[in-house]
Amino acid sequence: MSPSEPSRPKLVLASASPRRLSLLEQIGLVPDRLEPAYVDEAPQRMELPRNLAVRLARTKALTAQRRMAVEDDFRGALVLAADTVVSVGRRILPKAETREQAQRCLELLSGRAHRVYTAIALVDTKENVHSRLVETRVRFKRLSRADVAAYLTTMEWDGKAGGYAIQGSAGAFVVQMVGSYSSVVGLPLYETAQMLTGNGLPVIEAWQETAPEAQSA
């Protein structure tokens, strides 16, 4: 970047999720800071799954942004947050915290189609909030008792929406998926890249700047 070009905004990821961090790194972005935002994730009465995902992503982004606003080094940073919700119909599945919860989720998903909603929210440098929602349809094979028992031993379900992680062993359960794989993992990369690029952090240009040729020039 030449001295005449404006500096790019810093990027804050409002998440403690290693998979979201890994997905960002996959497209060549390393956040300048991780600032997890822990909020009440309980659905409101009659709240639809898609609305819950968007509300939580926006709440997380704004929660982290308020912390950044009082720090000179991060005032005006881009703050990115995401939330993933799994549902069967209008029924919202929990982020499994116990084996019993995970087992109930897997038994409900067995042989059925479900929807995975991941919302991303970005607070821009002027403190405006932008959000996108990505819906992916996933269908599991019919799970045997042995399938469920074996998966529970992996502990991959711990803290995961719907009681499974598609990037792990549960990938073997997926018969069909229509939509975004990265969204099911936790961060839709196409939508994230477009949103960041549109708000002053051009993703593809970042690839060029970090390429070996650029570093050796």
Q: What mean pLDDT, rounded, does the chain reach?
A: 92
Nearest alpha-carbon partner for 9 in 74, 80, 82, 81:
74
Cβ-based neighbour number of residue 210 at 10 Å: 12
**For the chain, what percent of residues have pLDDT higher than 90?**
88
The lowest-confidence range among 92-106, 163-177, 200-214 is 200-214
Task: Report pLDDT for 205.
Answer: 79
Quick one: 86 exposed, middle or buried, by C-beta within 10 A (0-12, 13-18, 19+)?
buried
- Contact present, 185 and 148 (Cβ < 8 Å): no
Question: Is 11-216 in CATH node 2.130.10.10?
Answer: no
d(CA 22, CA 55): 24
- Taking only the tens place, the pLDDT of each residue in 77-87 is 999 999 999 99
- For 45-70, the pLDDT digits (tens) are 999 999 999 999 999 999 999 999 99
Residue 5 is predicted with a pLDDT of: 47
- 32, 40, 72, 83: the catalytic one is 83
Report the alpha-carbon angle 68-74-120, nearest 5: 65
3-state secondary structure of 118: strand
The answer to whether the CB of 39 falls within 8 A of the CB of 62 is: no
User: Using only C-alpha atoms, what is the Rg of the chain?
Assistant: 19
Q: Between β-strands 91-92 and 129-140, what pairing exists: parallel, antiparallel or unpaired?
A: unpaired
Contact between 107 and 169 (Cβ < 8 Å): no
- State residue 207's pLDDT score: 74
Active-site annotation holds for 83: yes
pLDDT at res. 2: 42
In the block, residue with structure tokens 């998926």: 177
For the segment 7-34, the average pLDDT, to the nearest whole number, is: 93
Q: Residues of the chain with pLDDT > 70: what percent?
A: 93
